[in-house]
A and B are shown apart, each in its own frame.
Chain A
Amino acid sequence: MARKSLVLLSLLVLVIGVQLATSMTSTQYYLTQLTMSAYYAIVVIGLSVLMGYAGQISIGHAGFFAIGGYLSAALTTHNLIQFQESGVVKLLSSLGMIVTGQDLYGEELLVFVPWAACIVAIITAGVIAFVLGIPVLKLKGHYLAMATLGFGIIIYRIALASEYFGEADGISEVPGFTIFPALGDIGPVVVSGDFSGRVQNYYIAWCMLIIGLILLQNLINSRVGRALRSIHGSEEAAEAMGVNTARYKLYVFVLSAVYAAIAGVFLTHYNGGIGPSEASVMKSVRYVALVAVGGMANLWGVLIMGVSLTFLSLRGVFGSYDDAIFGVILIMIMLFAPEGILSIKLKGLFFRKNIRAKQEA
């Protein structure tokens, strides 16, 4: 317990340290990618619990990310003014879920407030995961991979084809997401790409990631977490010990989908928009690769590798070969370090080589 808090504390110190360092060296532009990396890492740690601990693969998590992002973007940007007389819109307005505003050209605008859009988006992603999960999670291994891949492709094609979701252009000019309004001297907490809010947004993202991590860690170390791991270990025996394997697989699938959707919502408000590439199959493959690189059933490893590789990718280090690099990483990891990159012990490697050299000599 003490060790766990210590590790968390050092992460916290590191997060603050990085921010201070960028402020002092005027390299605050790094914070933008670090913020985005943190959001992507939320998807990856959620997927780690599904894949690494419960042993159920999904190559469709970009789909859930996109459902969150796209819905939140569409609801906060599409003008409902033509429906303003309808009962549903009136009801939602009276609940404070819809507000009037003005668009760039001064036209009257009637849209969902980000809070309401966020909740609708996350619940929708959760419900879709639930409905999809009931039949799909009966499948195992490759078949489950194929089915989730199919789901990812469907979401991608819908995003690409639907006018409502902006077709190939996606949705832009998504407003900032005011989490807390201004209170006295304290300014409002807003998720947006505004330069003035860069430091604030960096902290929002990392707070969310750390809270997300703590919750998942608690889960893994609980009765439910143990049951999830037992499903991975032997589904037949887990069932015989009274674990409702179908239900647990479904719940953890929904949980990881909700994590992806939350990341999608926040990143979309941060970026001010979302495009179909966020829903693409390559994104899903990337998430799987990041989970694998981090060591599957290793939340910390997944978080570290998720953030650092995504950061490098966003900085453009891999250039146009970005997707290719992630493919190569996935293959290399599966071949040489199926327990994740952090599991490689260099000492052990050298030691073994020495023995082999001696034997050959």
Chain B
Amino acid sequence: MLELSSLQKNFGGLKAVDDVSFQVAKGTIKAVIGPNGAGKTTLFNCIAGNLAPTSGSIFFQNQEIKGKKPHQIAALGISRTFQNINLFHGMTALENVMVGRHIRSTSGFLAGMFSLPKSWKEEKKIQQRSVELLDILDLSKFAHVEATSLAFGQQRGVELARALATDPSLLLLDEPAAGLNIYETAEVARLITKIRDMGITVLLVEHDMSLVMDISDEIVVLSFGSKIAEDIPSAIQQNSEVIKIYLGEDEEAMA
């Protein structure tokens, strides 16, 4: 499904992502973990097209996506959420989700200006699907509330609904549980599994170990830009190098 090989991203002299290779198999949940500054978000931004990798390649469904623009990558079926929730301010929750349908609809400027039948028929479908998605995430009662005025957890939900609205085959989740309490995190875990069961492959970056260990099929561990381990959760928990990064050795304890 997704294959990174020798991916490298330098910021000046800093190697934020250093020779990272791994694959994500269709229909699985894969997590990328690592301490702060390990290059997880940079890796995500490279996949989503927000950053251009310095070298290496990214194949998605056997197609090179390196160098493509984010909107082109979205059209191919990769959608994402952001670490710091990134909703459209000034728009309702429903409208936010409806923007997610943009790439799966076609009406242009003229169709819109002259309100052609094609345009409003499509509009109806967009709205229908978006309401459906809000329903799935149990957010339909907030459909007409301005999205950025919702509670934090609900905003994450809207962002997720918006990402799902693009009909992705691969979903990138950047710290989906950040800032959520235990109950909300459990809810997110349930949702992510549900999304996987809908046939959508999930790649997530996460700090919350319990969430990662619970739901991931495989885990990649990054430290200072390099991949140091890749395995199933139970094996990662036993991996001495991973334990070393997270717990530190001697007195250099790292959180």
- Confirm or deny: A37 has a beta carbon within 8 angstroms of a beta carbon on chain B: no
The answer to whether A242 and B112 have CB atoms under 8 Å apart is no
The answer to whether B99 and A226 have CB atoms under 8 Å apart is yes
- Confirm or deny: A243 has a beta carbon within 8 angstroms of a beta carbon on chain B: yes
Given contacts A234-B87, A239-B71, A242-B74, contact A222 B111 (CB under 8 A): yes
The answer to whether B79 and A251 have CB atoms under 8 Å apart is no
Q: Which of B74, B101, B126 contacts A240 (CB 8 A)?
A: B74
Q: Residues 145-169 of chain A: 1 if any B CB is under 8 Å from the residue's CB, otherwise 0?
A: 0000000000000000000000000
Q: Nearest Cβ in chain B — how far from A124, in angstroms?
A: 20
The answer to whether A216 and B99 have CB atoms under 8 Å apart is no
Q: How far is the CA of A240 from the CA of B77 in the complex (A)?
A: 11
Q: Which of B90, B99, B119, B126 contacts A241 (CB 8 A)?
A: B99
Question: Could you tell me which residues of chain A, from 204 to 224, have a CB within 8 Å of some CB in chain B?
Answer: 215-216, 218-219, 221-224
The answer to whether A242 and B166 have CB atoms under 8 Å apart is yes
Given contacts A234-B88, A237-B88, A251-B109, contact A223 B115 (CB under 8 A): no
- Confirm or deny: B107 has a beta carbon within 8 angstroms of a beta carbon on chain A: yes
Q: Which residue of B lies closest to A239 (CB)?
A: B70
- Confirm or deny: A255 has a beta carbon within 8 angstroms of a beta carbon on chain B: yes
Q: Which of B50, B89, B105, B165 contacts A223 (CB 8 A)?
A: B105
- Confirm or deny: A100 has a beta carbon within 8 angstroms of a beta carbon on chain B: no
Q: Nearest Cβ in chain B — how far from A225, in angstroms?
A: 6
Q: How far is the CA of A238 from the CA of B79 in the complex (A)?
A: 11
The answer to whether B88 and A224 have CB atoms under 8 Å apart is no
Chain A residues with Cβ below 8 Å from B123 are 222-223
Chain B residues with Cβ below 8 Å from A221 are 112
Q: How many residues of B contact A (CB 8 A)?
A: 41
In this complex, the interface size class of chain A, counting residues with CB under 8 Å from chain B, is 20 to 34
Q: Nearest Cβ in chain B — how far from A243, in angstroms?
A: 5
Q: Nearest Cβ in chain B — how far from A209, in angstroms?
A: 15
Question: Could you tell me which residues of chain A, from 267 to 296, have a CB within 8 Å of some CB in chain B?
Answer: none
Q: How far is the CA of A236 from the CA of B69 in the complex (A)?
A: 11
The answer to whether A244 and B71 have CB atoms under 8 Å apart is yes
The answer to whether A241 and B102 have CB atoms under 8 Å apart is yes
Q: Which of A224, A234, A236, A245 contacts B109 (CB 8 A)?
A: A224
Q: Which of A225, A233, A236, A240 contacts B112 (CB 8 A)?
A: A225
- Confirm or deny: A227 has a beta carbon within 8 angstroms of a beta carbon on chain B: yes
Given contacts A222-B119, A255-B109, contact A241 B103 (CB under 8 A): yes
- Confirm or deny: B91 has a beta carbon within 8 angstroms of a beta carbon on chain A: yes
The answer to whether B74 and A241 have CB atoms under 8 Å apart is yes
- Confirm or deny: A297 has a beta carbon within 8 angstroms of a beta carbon on chain B: yes
- Confirm or deny: A232 has a beta carbon within 8 angstroms of a beta carbon on chain B: yes
Given contacts A233-B89, A242-B75, A255-B109, contact A222 B102 (CB under 8 A): no
- Confirm or deny: A198 has a beta carbon within 8 angstroms of a beta carbon on chain B: no
- Confirm or deny: B86 has a beta carbon within 8 angstroms of a beta carbon on chain A: yes
Q: How far is the CA of A223 from the CA of B75 in the complex (A)?
A: 16
Q: How far is the CA of A237 from the CA of B87 in the complex (A)?
A: 7
Chain A residues with Cβ below 8 Å from B48 are 240
Given contacts A223-B123, A226-B95, A227-B102, contact A216 B113 (CB under 8 A): yes
Query: Which residues in B have some Cβ–Cβ distance to A below 8 Å?
Result: 48, 50, 69-71, 74-75, 79-80, 82, 86-91, 95-96, 98-103, 105, 107-109, 111-115, 119, 122-123, 126, 162-163, 165-166
Apart from A224-B107, A227-B99, A241-B103, what 13 extra A-B contacts exist at CB < 8 Å?
A218-B112, A222-B111, A222-B115, A225-B112, A226-B91, A229-B90, A239-B50, A239-B70, A239-B71, A241-B74, A241-B163, A244-B71, A251-B109
Q: List 7 A-B contacts (CB under 8 A).
A: A218-B114, A227-B102, A230-B99, A240-B48, A240-B79, A240-B86, A243-B102
